Amino acid sequence: MELTIEDIGRVRKLILNRPEFMNAFNNALYKAVHESLKQAEQDAGVAVVLLTGAGRAFSAGQDLTEMQRMLDGGGDTYQFPGFLAQLTTFRKPLIAAVNGVGVGIGMTMLAHCDLVLMSSTARLRTPFPQLGLAPEAGSSGLFPLRMGWQNAAHTLLSGKWLSAQDAHEAGYVWKICEPEQLIEQALAVATDIAANPIPSLIATKELMLAGGRLAVAKESHARELEAYKDLVGAPANREAIAAFFERREPDFSKVSGA
């Protein structure tokens, strides 16, 4: 089961549950989160959704084995678009408890969450340059909006790790917690919010989205899709994925124009 679902009062807890793959997103997990968010949005008994990961990772990002199959012309219909559309427009409060590493979509999806609590030992990274790719999930617009231009530029252009303290100081993370207290504190915040009338929570969230984040997310993602048409499957991207499976550093010096 890729996703574990637990109701705690009016809080629905979603746990990314591929710990043996560090909760990397494959099609099944994209679909499961998409459907679960949709169900939570429609469920009159759910006021808040709390998202976290099982094991030592929040999410290691895209499952590169599945990406390789897609590059080779195999695999099922890509479930990422439906997942992102639901995440972007989700009408109820969404809280993330980042229990471990968040890489790629494991970091960019946090920009769509309303509150992010993070373990003091967790780290975040967007290694798009190292994969021969560009930002995704609207992060090219949402990161500057949330972190400021320079923090966003360094995060996206370098692809280097951000500690919990770095992410907090940049404004990307709301609160840092000790690892053993993370879920307890995140659940306490979620429960406190969930005690309020759901129509009020939905109206507030929709007003905040209409204030700019929703438009920025959609417009940025549309531009990113155009960039990905040229980058996915291009020589630099293929070299990066080959290097991953061969357990070596990518050598972009042999890629023309890289």
**pLDDT at residue 75 in the model:** 64
Rounded Cα distance, 194 and 90, in Å: 16
Report the percentage of the chain scoring pLDDT > 90.
84
The whole-number average pLDDT for the span 235-254 is 88
**pLDDT at residue 67 in the model:** 72
> Which of 101-105, 117-121, 230-234 is predicted least confidently?
230-234
- By the 8 A CB rule, do 161 and 137 touch? no
User: pLDDT digit string (tens) for 3-13?
Assistant: 999 999 999 99
> Which of 21-35, 53-67, 96-110 is predicted least confidently?
53-67
Where is pLDDT greater, at 257 or 192?
192
Q: Is the pLDDT of residue 32 over 90?
A: yes
Report the percentage of the chain scoring pLDDT > 70.
97
Please tell me the CATH superfamily of domain 1-179+198-258, with its number.
2-enoyl-CoA Hydratase; Chain A, domain 1 (3.90.226.10)
The whole-number average pLDDT for the span 120-141 is 96
Closest listed residue to residue 129, CA positions, set 247, 240, 1, 14 = 240
Closest listed residue to residue 121, CA positions, set 160, 79, 167 = 167
Closest listed residue to residue 137, CA positions, set 83, 175, 67 = 83
Mean model confidence pLDDT for the chain: 95
Query: What's the 3-state SS for the chain?
Result: CCEEEEEECCEEEEEECCHHHCCCECHHHHHHHHHHHHHHHHCCCCCEEEEEECCCEEECCECHHHHHHHHCCCCCCCCHHHHHHHHHHCCCCEEEEECCEEECHHHHHHHHCCEEEEECCCEEECCCHHHCCCCCCCHHHHHHHHHCHHHHHHHHHHCCCEEHHHHHHCCCCCEEECHHHHHHHHHHHHHHHHCCCHHHHHHHHHHHHHHHHHHHHHHHHHHHHHHHHHHCCCHHHHHHHHHHHCCCCCCHHHCCCC
**pLDDT at residue 71 in the model:** 66
**pLDDT at residue 33 in the model:** 98
**pLDDT at residue 66 in the model:** 78
